[in-house]
Amino acid sequence: MDVISVIRTKRDRGELSPQQIDWVIDAYTRGEVADEQMSALAMAILLNGMNRTEIARWTAAMIASGERMNFDALSRPTADKHSTGGVGDKITLPLAPLVAACGAAVPQLSGRGLGHTGGTLDKLESIPGWRALLSNEEMLDVLGTTGAVICAAGDGLAPADKKLYALRDVTGTVEAIPLIASSIMSKKIAEGTGSLVLDVKVGTGAFMKTIEDARELASTMVALGTDSGVKTVALLTDMSTPLGLTAGNALEVRESVEVLAGGGPADVVELTLALAREMLDAAGIKDADPAKALADGSAMDVWRRMIAAQGGDPDATLPVAREQHVVTAPASGVLTRLDAYDVGIAAWRLGAGRARKEDPVQAGAGVEIHAKPGDTVTAGQPLLTLHTDTPEKFDYALESLGAAWDIAEPGTDFTATPIVLDRIA
């Protein structure tokens, strides 16, 4: 095998053979294939696509590059969830303890934010003492004692994907559906969960901007999971408007705790319950009521045990940014649009996100939302509050919000977009 022939095959719209795929993934992981060569192949895949056979083999090759976990020793069925990323998407935080409170084990391997999309691990690291990095033994211990664990994937899990993901991020190939699908599913299949629910975001704040692209990605991932023996379901959910009333790390943890306490924004509660029901059904748990587990405090109990088991203090005061800036409504009327991407960029520029994986984040930075589409606003009332430790960032963040909302005439009829747009199984 040689990498030039592999690149040429896909450049010329050919189908990569199983042998070509196995070789190039292994050779890249070992360093025999250079970054510039793999980036050329990734761009050819972005432009020319892959068929189902190629995607399945590519995923299998990435799984084979590392270890596979096994949860057979647990007394509970396992269920996991993965979101393709959005703005204000703190759903994993209340969801994992909620599903655990209903009888499943939730091994949630999560990631960090990059660009305008927030990262679950960054959010949780705003809790004093909380640790994202656990050994496999520690992960299994937390999972066995609390029912849920949220942590970083170990270096031994699909190392080919870890290397390729970093390359895609800096070569303009993140959006390639075959590579997104294989990246997500190689980690989830190697993780060893028995069932998986995918939250595929659609809209301005998502990587998939159209329902057609989101449906293609969801269908591809469901097929990959099913072919590998993992019961897999996908929900297509709206990401044209930020989820909830916060975008930022400590801000979103605070809002998640409100949900676990039986409150919180209606859209966050709705999506959390919808995903919980899908996860429980996929795990074969038919008689649990996640709404009851939120109301009676049992989900909160699991949250507190889970945070403490990973070194965090569930009673600690969360970080607050040193500086705030209030953005007010320029006119009176009905707010008909609040763009998720623009809000996400503002939060990122304030310090809540990173441009490179090694960049630090500010725990208290982000955007607090005071009105959502459908609300009636009055000129001069607060729309958003910007939070940061570095006030020189305010002007840069405000640039991204210049066209972030629309306000229609008072009394204008407004119909909200449903949170759940489609289901693929």
Tokens of 290: 């996640």
Spot the catalytic one: 57, 112, 162, 168.
168
Active site (annotated) includes residue 183: yes
> DSSP state, 352?
I
Check the CA dihedral 327-332-338-342 and report its sign. negative
Q: 10 Å Cβ neighbour count for 31?
A: 9
Q: Transcribe 27-73 into DSSP letters.
A: HHHHTSS-HHHHHHHHHHHHHH---HHHHHHHHHHHHHTS-----TT
Q: Kindly list the distances between the CA atom of residue 267 and the CA atoms of 120, 245, 292, 419, in Å, as whole numbers in the listed order.
A: 18, 9, 17, 7
* Bridge partners, residue 231, by sequence: 195
d(CA 179, CA 194) in angstroms, rounded, equals: 23
Q: Rounded to an integer, what is the distance from CA 59 to the centroid of its chain?
A: 19
Q: Report the candidate in 185, 221, 55, 168 with the shortest Cα–Cα distance to residue 109.
A: 185
Please name the helix (run of DSSP H) or strand (run of DSSP E) that holds residue 187, with its range, or none.
helix 177-191
d(CA 150, CA 155) in angstroms, rounded, equals: 16
Tokens of 9: 């095959």
Active site (annotated) includes residue 82: yes
Q: 10 Å Cβ neighbour count for 329?
A: 20
Q: 10 Å Cβ neighbour count for 284?
A: 13
Spot the catalytic one: 10, 57, 82, 123.
82
Active site (annotated) includes residue 161: yes
Spot the catalytic one: 81, 187, 231, 349.
187
Spot the catalytic one: 126, 182, 183, 240.
183
Active site (annotated) includes residue 187: yes
Phi/psi region, residue 206 (left: phi>0; alpha: psi -120 to 50; beta: rest), is: beta
Active site (annotated) includes residue 65: no
d(CA 101, CA 303) in angstroms, rounded, equals: 9
Whether residue 253 contacts residue 218, with contact meaning beta carbons closer than 8 Å, is answered with: no
Write out the catalytic residue numbers. 82, 161, 168, 183, 187
